[in-house]
Amino acid sequence: MAKREEPVNPGSVEHDKILSVDIVTEMQRSYIDYAMSVITERALPDVRDGLKPVHRRILYAMHDMGLTHATRFRKSALVVGDVLGKYHPHGDTSVYDAMVNLAQDFSTRYQLIQGQGNFGNADGDGAAAMRYTEARMSKIASELLRDIEKNTVDFRPNYDATRKEPTVFPAAIPNLLLNGTLGIAVGMASNIAPHNLNEIIDACLHMIEHDDATNEDLAEIVKGPDFPTGGLAFNKADIVHALSTGRGGVVCRGEVDIAEQKNGLYQITITSLPYRVIRSNFVESIALLVQDKKLDGIKGLEDHSAKDMRVVVTLKNGINPQKVLNYLYKHTQLQQTFHYNMVALVDGVPETLSLKSVLNSFIAHRETVVRRRSEFDLQRAKDREHILIGLKKALDHIDKIITLIRGSKDAAVAKLNLMKDFKFSDLQATAILEMRLQKLAGLERKAVELELKERQDFIAQM
């Protein structure tokens, strides 16, 4: 016999813990929260520094460890462990994969990490385990973090509130356009091509000097994408449309050279492929077309690639090389369409951006960074000026001050006496006490007055 359940008293504690919710509403709310978390915390970059949170945490951890381009390499496992323990409470594989991507010269146009060891290759081979590879920040990555110690950006608590992490980098370069990004979120995605550093900086300068510049004007400076693996982008109108609207397809082809050999046979030499095409898969696709007899006229296929790509297709006698090349464009990845989808976070909200709007956001960010840096430097100069005024005053009464300090029971009493008898501030009294009496007595008035004048001139200029 089943045990009879006693009715629950509406006023009991157990009844108060039960919440009645509509399951449809709760699922909608939970899924939206999850989607926004993926969008803002994982998949999409910030328009200001062009980084996703995982990339920002990797670089900040390396900066915190002192792994700049001028230091020696350290084990990748050490960096990954530091990132996981301090900033990124996710799997080690996701952190290491993101770190490897920043170090690959065929994935990232301007590598933010210098790698030592096997970091994979363009044939699709993965990197060695993190215990075997070593890494440090590249020189250009240091430009993303320049002046971060000068209160130029906001910080927030990390996942366990034991330390602080930056919400964005000061970013002296427009990294979003330089290295591009690929991110798949919930209900949206981002696909931004890398571009040439010189062209993007020139476009920034043009924007600063001409507020009314249009996307078409900027497209005359930024000629198109600049992929790390080379390749050619076609149709200026498509490029301008993609840069102006943030969306659009741009046809890209590998670089090809057709040459006639001494024996009369033609060779098609392929020296680059469209972005993100794996070389070994491409060569295999040509071999399969020949094997399935879909592509006639090929006598030989050789991959002479080492550091640079060089795939040679030798044609049979009497075969038109342009006809074979057109077939390769159509049926292999020698020709691909890069689909621009310039979505990034602007003030935490995903937006589809044009070239002009990306540059505007970057320039506005730099204005904020420069203003905050100047305020920080000004305050530091004022603090130093205040201390120098105190030292100069101390020199005017050096004998009395030395007598006062020697006659005090301890440092705390000496500090109070200095503030009481000579009207020094807390900072000034502390600075005087932190100096050895021998050094205090030997201070050169001229040196103090010279530094004081320099600080005052700096403050006046600010």
Residues belonging to the active site: 132
Q: Which residue matches tokens 């109108």?
A: 237
Q: Which of 253, 256, 231 is nearest to 313 (CA)?
A: 256
Can you tell me whether residue 47 is helix, strand or coil?
coil
Distance of CA 139 to the CA centre of its chain: 13
What residues contact residue 184 under an 8 Å CB cut-off, 6+ apart? 43
Tokens 């070389």 locate to 279
**Closest to 295 (Cα-Cα) out of 323, 276, 271:** 323
Q: What H or E segment, with its residue span, contains residue 181?
A: strand 181-184
Per-residue tokens: 146: 């320049």
Residue 360 CA to residue 354 CA, distance in Å, equals: 10
**Residue 46 DSSP code:** B
Q: How far apart are CA 265 and CA 279, in angstroms?
A: 25
- Which tokens in the block code for residue 70? 């001028």
Evaluated on CA atoms 217, 220, 225, 226, the torsion sign reads negative
- Residue that has been written with the tokens 């979003």 in this structure: 176
C-alpha of 233 from chain center? 25
Tokens at 431, concatenated = 């600075």
- The one-character DSSP state at 304 is -
Residue 89, exposed/middle/buried by CB under 10 A (0-12, 13-18, 19+)? Answer: exposed
291: tokens are 């094997």
CA-to-CA dists, residue 366 to 57, 197, 264, angstroms: 20, 17, 59
Q: Which residues pair with 165 in a beta bridge?
A: 156
As separate numbers, helices (DSSP H) first and strands (DSSP E) second, the chain gives: 18, 16
Write out the E strands in 292-450: 298-303, 311-315, 335-341, 343-346, 349-352
